[in-house]
Structure 1
């Protein structure tokens, strides 16, 4: 246990630590084409083999997930964090969305050869890691006993790349810019990041099909595919759509942020899960995409859904106005209409009022017989 994990565990109100954690780095798994992908195994010490193992696949640096993996391992759950194809020691070339289905399937098959993975599996995914998690679920839904999903969605097309049917060039360009520079040496990476930041405005002012070339110096083939398939009903997007996996989802929790770009898609996923009778819980905080509070909430809620699935139901939302968390039975909550009237004194009243020679009543505007009001308080209309 480190001071940082102890602090986060306390703030997130995690279950108590039951064992120290140990890690084995760069464990190789071979895919069907011979490519070797590497991953880190975090285990509680000792590990009796009875608890579900958490599997995470990421295109980002694995050590960035050390904190999360340690928190789970210290609470009895081993964690396997694998680098996606072409990233951080895994062979091949990283192509966003293209290889996750096959590599997910091969990863689960390769894990069966290791005694430490002979147990039920649970999945965690945030942002693009959510896509890799849904791809693992697609490969073997019967083996997955629980899922913890944060700031992600099953349909990346409508949630992020083409929200409301319009291509989100800035989101796509910022993402691929980060992907293509993340493994550079520190000084070179900072130089490249400054260049991307400097050229971003020019890239966004050009046509979408040329924006990647302006930003990066040459076209980026995956980006060109996203731009060229600009119709919402283009069958090209079906191969990366993971909404069919919602019908196969085991007990799950979805951690969302009010200020996160995935929010609309994640709420849609939650409603789809409820319609299909799946066991799920929704947690929405006053968070942005990378807010620190998401980590603690994801660990706490995933432990609940994996260890006590019957208790992982309902909806918890943060009220940014009062700072309070509110427990709801469902989302969207049951509501009733309430008509309020804003006064000149910045108050809201439940009855109409007249001021400045205008009578406000049920949304209509007409001259008030009484004329202009003289006080700052509204006068109820009679």
Structure 2
């Protein structure tokens, strides 16, 4: 009943849907995670939150509906995509808005058919996605009902199963294998993972809460990636500036760009910007002393030694004209800017979040109700006032 009311509310918020779709189409927010797990300007979650805020339905239902389109991954659709294609097909803005409303409603009314349609539009043909999703729904029904009976928040029920999407969908997909055929790219992933492991192990006696472990895992990988970037003379502010400039040019070249086009660029920028802060502080603290660089995340020391011990990363001259090997690592990092998921690292964070949610089953674990400190918003685009993180349901 609450979902039906929300579906009706989507149509009632025509002006909001129109405004957000137009802004996304024109690149108003700059690079943004349209298909996002958190709240940020231009994200689908940001729009859903605005619709839900004033609705008269139970709070837990609101949170579940919001979770479903954040970490719940209720289809791969991102707000504004139908609108953009309709505009490019020659429809008016009003007509395009109706197309957008119908698509958003379908995502919540018929999620399996909605995802099937998206796959059809992408010319997917290797297996019957509708049969697979219906089979998954059937197999999961008993587990979902048991979780409901056990008092698990509905928002967590839609979130936890979605964590498998990354691993099955692309971490072990063919594109991943194609990407890591490059030795440098593979070893950046390996070294970053080794930094995470070394850091987590060296701090085993220091943790106070499960969140400490999660924050250190993501923070250490951010430090590792930024450190590798700096080995080639680059840093986060330089890359954020570059990718933001590229985004605005990309909008003009590709008005039909997919809703998720710059999603991973945003993840990459946010990651290295976080690492930049910690690395920069560590450099200042070390000053001119000839000691190891030890950045800290919330007071926990990060062990960067696996990078120096990685033979591939420390010998870029083997992968280009030897005397001019000053952009090798950067070029591989730009490849990973389209796919930073094994740097952040999603398999680790998904596992940890599943356990953290299990320890707090009564509270909605998604979306993250806090400021992401977005690199783009902090360094380039002034868009903080459009974010809903503080108003998150």
In which range does the TM-score fall when normalised by the shorter chain?
A: under 0.3
> Which of the two has greater helix per residue?
2
TM-score w.r.t. length of structure 1: 0.21
> Which of the two has greater strand per residue?
1
TM-score w.r.t. length of structure 2: 0.21
Greater Rg by CA: 1
